[in-house]
Structure 1
């Protein structure tokens, strides 16, 4: 409200050599004078080495600190943010934000919220500390402490397809090329080429290098090979295809491009594409990939003048290893299989004997597995899965040179890692954390594997090149992992009614750090937004649904005033239903509603 009443926001257009002492308000109705003048000396775009991918946009203001993404100019209460630029690079657009009172008040509110959340965790008379002292969860006192620690030869292959000899193809795998706006081994380009066309990592028993070599050497043969995957049935009928695979020749009628005949275009830009239109676009991208390969624009070797520095052999070897091991596929199959076995074993024993029995001293003897083999197998498998996921995630971090939190695929990978980490920490005190950790991580990896999530390693867009990224996303994904544990805990409690009260205590204990992580992630994201483009809150769908999730889970804190939350049955049903808001916040917004946080077009 203070920002709305006292603040001003607009835009200023600077051209090289010209002085400006005013800006246009956001609604375009009023020109506001500045108490100083600005002069643009120059504007330039920094690129990632050897690529056309922008790394930063920089406006050099006379006598001032350069303005770029995540680096603002502050003068006499006015804050200037890099917004856009002219095509001829002779002008720059800056967002102007004047908010003398709102920033201090807003940040003070964030600080008070953070202090109050910490106080709720450490206060001796608080509900959280009381839960830690509860006899059913007495050993859970370490929870917070632990949680806060985080060629030329050609020969015939299958079906007589001409392709590179295996030895020559393997020698090409390590060659460095520029692809996807970074320097990569040729294996990465070839792998993505085959995956994009066929939906698989290899074709006809040949390596990706052999396939791409065949297309280069004998395109007249390969254009008749049915390897372009067409998923949409309606498009297959239009193309008269009997199988899901088309050859390049199927998409041309003489010199006429058949897909262009089917594409009517979107008359209304606000209308979403139909499934057929999306399928045509996807098929057109695959055709374009082949044409780029044939005209020589897909493969870009390193320039001979040394303007692009090659990456180290160690990094090349790491990327080859990363490409060779299907981390997500192996782990989601393993985790879901072992998780189902562990869950059904836990459920079976719980239905027979209840999930826990009290001894004479009032202590809880946790439900254990019946055999020593099971007692050894499940924890060992959990640690092995965590280390394997950590190894794959670390490889991706090392290869990309940044923390992997920049897209949907990477955030789901991080969530799976968090789930396994939490399960490893607490599996001794809470045995049901073992199946929960397996199942949650397995489903997260399955979603990342099957969904429309791009597994390619790419440079970050300039606005994301910020230390705020890792903190903001890590806190949010950690809260999602805890909410998911509470959801699974609720399902288990609904199956094991005798243990519902003890499981409710555990969920209430997890509720505190989960909601606080989410709250901290939200207001740190707001601080980042204000530092990057001058506003803390834009009512973006992601922001709105994150706030809804925060409020829905926050309601469960008020068991004293809302007596219904004292009922274990209602509490668990509420926790299961509340997880729908998490699903909407992540998947619904990221892939359906769109907005600034959307991965739908990533």
Structure 2
């Protein structure tokens, strides 16, 4: 009987994972409305989850999980979360309400049916306003001041005004109101309405139960994690693999009209308004040169000298081939001998040559071809030069004192951050040292411990010292970005890769004494993370956050997710190493099983903290966005590996390591595949 239940549970589990993966691709092909109607919001999809829950309960009863309370609570928390989701799906109501200043509203429009649903109270909008970051037109928050009038209460009553803004909801009698949009004339405000008096509370109780159970699993004396920590095989050490390097191009120096180095340096710390924040002029100049050339300097000139040259002698600089075009087809059409074009190359008299190659505009929903993307990118670069010449690119601080200038320490910090290429230096250093450390570790692993010399130990100490130096350098750069931006750097693809590299180095520093092979792991994984950021050109300017992103829940959500990814990457590389050095396969399997606990628990906690953030910001804790779905798939795939007692295959080192390598594909899909293939609310592809 128990074997049949186990087979049923595993079959439904695997089918559900496959179904979720297929659904994300169907959504890309047929649209969100189609996939929600036919899969996510369908009766049969709920039944699949129900069958899985029943099978899990019966299988858990057969295994007598009550002997270890944290494991029982862990499985129970999933059932509570699922029950809360089912209640939300069955009984929750969502809609929207449009408030106009001075008008009373006592109903909302239901999202699914479009019907008017009465509210047990009346809403009255006193005012709506948009707060901006100082001196800019970048919104910092959207704020509605609302009065809630109970039956029989007039508009002139003394009821106090309530505030609804981004990440600040209004709760009244089981109804929750979220700031959603506003009218162009600022006289009206649109609020999302959510009425789910039971589902949210039950789901949150499941989240809390999940957190308690995960802590118990990690620290419980009778748990598998503690047993693995004390396993004698894990008191020894072993290794890892992989690589990639990138070259850089140098521009030959030329004699060009430009500001003197002294004049340019004096301009660097002058403050201007750029990308909706106050910055040193060096930041604007550096971004200008980076955008045009792909490098932070040009022809041996500093960014300030380049901008000064364009302002002083545009008739000379317009013939300078400094606009980088990476698309070969566009270079061929422009008759360019290299990948660089000048402004003069793009004009034939008064005729703008790029218009000759543009095929029919940017229709909504149609993906641009590589040539069209290259034309758009090149056009943006030309636009920057034209803005500079017209005087609209550089916006000095107003003289009336309306914008507060940056303090001197912050200016100096930003200048340091701009002038030190942290990512480029670190990815080159980490990959180089990581490869040397890896080959040295393999060499030592092939020899008996008695043959290891004092020289090898000294080399190991050098690698450890380099690891700590890399961590401190990365921490310094990340801290500078934090200080300069005034927020935790976790809002885009570049910053999350930076954080992942930092977490990887930290983990390597923490584990290196007990597991020496984590030293090359740390170098190589952090190097790859920084290389991805560098090659992907995901280094956007440090800009103020969108109002919805200003939330501590978001910071915790991203931090935990990226820490879990770092641990999963360790496990993947550990698996590759085990396949290379088979005699250490069992010990490396024990290490991966040990790391599996914090890795999957970090992922689970990150997913559900993200759900809380989404509920606070948008009024729903789960939206079946492709990023959410693939994070859940990753959680489920790695969750299978916990059940080695029930699934004997996971007790075999070879199968376990191959599974860990294959499972990492879900991590890659979650972070990169969704961003660049599937898209969705969480996509960083355009960050």
Q: Same fold (TM over 0.5)?
A: yes
**Of 432, 447, 450, the match for 2:517:** 432
- Displacement, 1:378? 0.4
Specify whether residues 290 and 28 from structure 1 end up closer, same or farther in structure 2 by C-alpha distance, changes over 3 A only: farther
Residues 104-124 of structure 1: CA deviation (Å, up to 9, x unaligned): 111112122222222222222
What is the TM-score when the length of structure 1 is the normalising length? 0.93
Matched ranges for 1:9-88 at <5 A:
9-62=94-147, 63-88=160-185
Q: Is the 8 A contact 1:368 1:431 kept in 2?
A: no
How many residue pairs match? The answer is: 576
**Of 301, 317, 338, the match for 1:243:** 338
Q: What is residue 499 of structure 1 aligned with on the other side?
A: 584
Specify whether residues 158 and 576 from structure 1 end up closer, same or farther in structure 2 by C-alpha distance, changes over 3 A only: closer
What is the TM-score when the length of structure 2 is the normalising length? 0.82
**Of 297, 304, 317, the match for 1:209:** 304
- Matches of 2:145 and 2:301 in 1, distance apart? 52
Q: Is the 8 A contact 1:369 1:375 kept in 2?
A: no
Provide the alpha-carbon RMSD of the alignment.
1.7
- Partner SS for 2:162: coil
- Partner SS for 1:66: strand
Task: Please say which of residues 501-510 and 271-280 is displaced more in the overlay.
Answer: 271-280
- Matches of 1:29 and 1:448 in 2, distance apart? 44
Matched ranges for 1:45-444 at <5 A:
45-62=130-147, 63-137=160-234, 159-266=254-361, 268-353=363-448, 370-444=455-529
Q: What is residue 360 of structure 1 aligned with on the other side?
A: none
- Matches of 2:607 and 2:453 in 1, distance apart? 39
- Matches of 1:378 and 1:64 in 2, distance apart? 62
- Displacement, 1:266? 4.5
- Displacement, 1:305? 0.4
- Matches of 1:285 and 1:433 in 2, distance apart? 44
Q: Is the 8 A contact 2:675 2:683 kept in 1?
A: yes
- Displacement, 1:7? 1.1
- Partner SS for 1:162: coil
Stretches of structure 1 that go unaligned for 5 or more consecutive residues are 141-156, 358-364
Residues 369-408 of structure 1: CA deviation (Å, up to 9, x unaligned): 8524302210110010000000011111110111111111
Q: Is the 8 A contact 1:191 1:201 kept in 2?
A: yes
Stretches of structure 2 that go unaligned for 5 or more consecutive residues are 1-85, 148-159, 238-251
Task: Please say which of residues 260-269 and 212-221 is displaced more in the overlay.
Answer: 260-269
- Partner SS for 1:164: coil
- Partner SS for 2:490: coil
Q: Is the 8 A contact 1:2 1:102 kept in 2?
A: yes
Confirm whether residue 600 of structure 1 aligns to residue 677 of structure 2.
Answer: no
**Of 539, 557, 580, the match for 1:472:** 557
Confirm whether residue 524 of structure 1 aligns to residue 619 of structure 2.
Answer: no
Matched ranges for 1:480-559 at <5 A:
480-559=565-644
Greater relative contact order (Cα < 8 A, sep 6+): 2
- Matches of 1:387 and 1:493 in 2, distance apart? 30
- Matches of 2:235 and 2:323 in 1, distance apart? 59
- Matches of 1:129 and 1:139 in 2, distance apart? 17
Q: Is the 8 A contact 1:132 1:139 kept in 2?
A: no
Residues 535-566 of structure 1: CA deviation (Å, up to 9, x unaligned): 01101011000000000100000001110000
Deviating above 3 A after TM superposition, structure 1's stretches of 4 or more consecutive aligned residues are 157-160, 265-268, 367-370
Residues 240-261 of structure 1: CA deviation (Å, up to 9, x unaligned): 1111011111111221222122
Specify whether residues 8 and 369 from structure 1 end up closer, same or farther in structure 2 by C-alpha distance, changes over 3 A only: farther
Specify whether residues 267 and 326 from structure 1 end up closer, same or farther in structure 2 by C-alpha distance, changes over 3 A only: closer
